[in-house]
Each structure stands twice: as structure tokens, then as C-alpha cells.
Structure 1
Amino acid sequence: MTGDTPDLADMRRDYATEQGLDVTDLAPAWPDQFQRWFADAVAAGLPEPNAMVLSTADTAGRPSSRTVLLKGVDARGFVFFTNFESRKGGELRANPYAALLFPWHPMMRQIAVRGTVTEVDRVETETYFAGRPRASQVAAWASPQSRVLPDRAALDERYAATERRFPAESAIPAPPHWGGLRVAPETVEFWQGRSGRLHDRLRYRRTEQGEWIIERLAP
């Protein structure tokens, strides 16, 4: 790939040739392994390490993808927040199954997740919303996400009207159409780039009995 800075090229080469991934390298549970790699991504200075590609599909099976931000992760799954009336919100209501991808390219690493999607507890949504910057709170009320707008002025006017609705001294509640969604994984795959394209792919998979096993996949 052309255009790499020396530091970025060196990082990619180091991770691709020196840091293979074996089952013995993994934590017994996927949440612990995720936290290890996430900490590595933060330490490496990657921009927005919590950015993840969310893929959904409508009832006809037609997929769509977009980048969202991870806001919480534990053994129950991966949490993000969104407008339930957006395209992704509508697709997830109709087909509550999603895929996530953390594309940490400079480190030659990816984490791929597939699982079912449920809404988080409303208290969790309200707690998170209360800690958001005020401008983001206003935007959550003002934007009819994924709908067609006549122009930018229409959006700006909706934002201004929302500011008038909620004076500066008043608290802004979480909109009823906005909240958290949790992807409860059925599989979590850790992908480590290797030289010669013989990459390492190790996957945690939940069995029908509810137990987690680790499998190696061919690259």
C-alpha cells in the first residue's frame, strides 16, 4: 500500500510478521481477550479505537453498514446508542441480528462479531444520555435520522427549535425514540495479520448448550 508514513509502515510490518496468534495466547473468555486487544489499540494511538462497523439487513436480506461507537462491553455483549427510527433501528426491529467489525488496520488486527440484538434497560439509556455533551443531546431530538431533508437549513432550523424547547438551564431527557442496543455475540473472531497472507483467525463460538469454544479458521 503506497502513501504510508514510515511509522505506520513499520507498525504494520511488525504486527504482520512478529505477532502471530495462537490458542495459547488467548484469554479463556472472549471479553477478556477483547479488553487485551482494545488496550493494545489505545496504547498504539489508533484514532477512535472504539469505532466499529455495524452491519444490518432488512427483511429481504439486503445489507447495510455504517460506523458507530462502542459505548460499553461486558460478558452480555457490545453496546451502542442510536435513534430507533433510523435505518439501522428499523432494520434491527425487523431483523434483530447484526455483525460488528473493529478494523484496526495499522496493527493488522480485526475483531469480527455476530449476534442477536436487544434494547438495553431504559435506566442505562437515560444514565448514558445524561452524560452526553449538551449539543449531542439536542441533536438526538433534532435529527430525524436517515430521513430525506430538503436542505441543510431545514436541519439547522430543527436544531434551533430544539434549543428553544429546552432552555440552557433545563435538563434534556433522552428521547423516547433513542436508546442503547446490545449485540449479544454468538461468535467473536480475532484476526491477526501474518506475512504471506496466512493470517491467524481464532474464533470464540457459543454452542447450542451455551458453552464457549475456541476454533481456528483457515485464512
Structure 2
Amino acid sequence: MSNSLLKYASITQKISMSILGLFLAMFLLVHLTINLMLLLPDEGELFRASAEFMGTNPFIMVFEYVLFAAFFVHIVLGIILWFQNNQARPIAYVKTNVSETSFFSKYMIHTGIILLIFLILHFVHFYFAKIGLVDASTTYLFEGHEHPDFYVMAKELLTQPLMAGIYIISFLTLGFHLNHAIQSGFQSLGLEHSKYTAAIKIISTLYSLLIAFGFSVIPVILIIQG
């Protein structure tokens, strides 16, 4: 393959990776908002209503497949780009930049692997029960049918010290991953400029902290509440 084709393939992969990564980063805010409902003093009414809506709304159900596809392609592209960056023949397109050699960028593949393992674990705990691959540990009646009670399941899981620890470590790893991913995503999309590079770094750092600590505080509060 010629150098020009390699260059084009690398650029295309980086842009695709960036778009999908930013899309997934925005989804996390929606997911966090719903999960924070676990802390409301309403016995899970709003959380269950949100879970029911997410599980039955046709648009959301289609979006779910788009989300899974985005996760899959993002993971595959991440692995491909990691192998390419470790080959003896570096692609000329890659530009030396502080963000590319930062502490965060060096460990993207490592944090990505940890997050993939966590994602599988999270699916086993919740999504597999949703689609019927495993029996839900707790159910509730809704319109005459039994549904997995994700409110009770989540609270029971996240109040177990070991599982709470695993989830918190995973959430902090997610924040670590996001901090570089968002900055790198905007850079790959050609949005790096002296006028707003500093703003992008600040926003990505604040957003990654919001996601990491927003998710992490949930099991902490649930354990404190008993």
C-alpha cells in the first residue's frame, strides 16, 4: 500500500475514532443523569419510569443499536490505531504535539482495555437481564408484566463494598480516558487552534471530572445511606 493510501487510511480512522468517541462521551452525560435518579427519595419511581421508557420507546431502541455499533467500531479502531502507532513504519501524517505525548495519551490503550472489561461486567449485571439472557435477581409488575427491577438491582450491587470499589475504580479510569480522548478528538477533527485550544483542554478536563466523580459518588452515597 502506498504512503498516500496509508496516510488517507490513518486520517480516516482517526476522524472516525474521534467522532464516535465524542458521541459516546455525550451519551455518558445522559447515562449519568439517569443513574443519579438512584439517589432521589422517591423509592425509585422516576428511575423505574426512565428505565421503562428507555426499554420500550422505539426511537431509544433503535438508538441502542447505534450505540452498540459505535462502541464496537470505536474499540476496533482504537486497537487498530494502537497497533499502527507501534509499528516500525510511522505514518508521516502524525504531528508531534504535547497532547500526543502527554501522560494521559501513553495509557489510552491500557485504560481502554480496563473499560472494555468493565463494560462486559456491566452488561452481565444489567443488560443481559434486560434482554433475558440471565434471570433478573429482582422484578416488579408493570402493566401486568414482570420487568427487571433495575432500581433494586443497582442499589443492591453498588452497596456491596467489593463491587462498589470495582465500579468506582472503573469510573475514575473512565475519567482518565476521557480527559485525553476529548482533546484528541477535537484535534483530529481539525479544531486545534491557539484561540480555543486552552478552552478545549479546560472543558475536557471539567467534563471528565464531572463524569468520573458524578458516577463515583453514587455508590458512595448509597453505602452511606445504608
Common fold by TM > 0.5: no
The structure with more helix, counted as a fraction of residues? 2
Which of structures 1 and 2 has the larger relative contact order (alpha carbons within 8 angstroms, sep 6+)? Answer: 2
TM-score tier (shorter): under 0.3
The structure with more strand, counted as a fraction of residues? 1
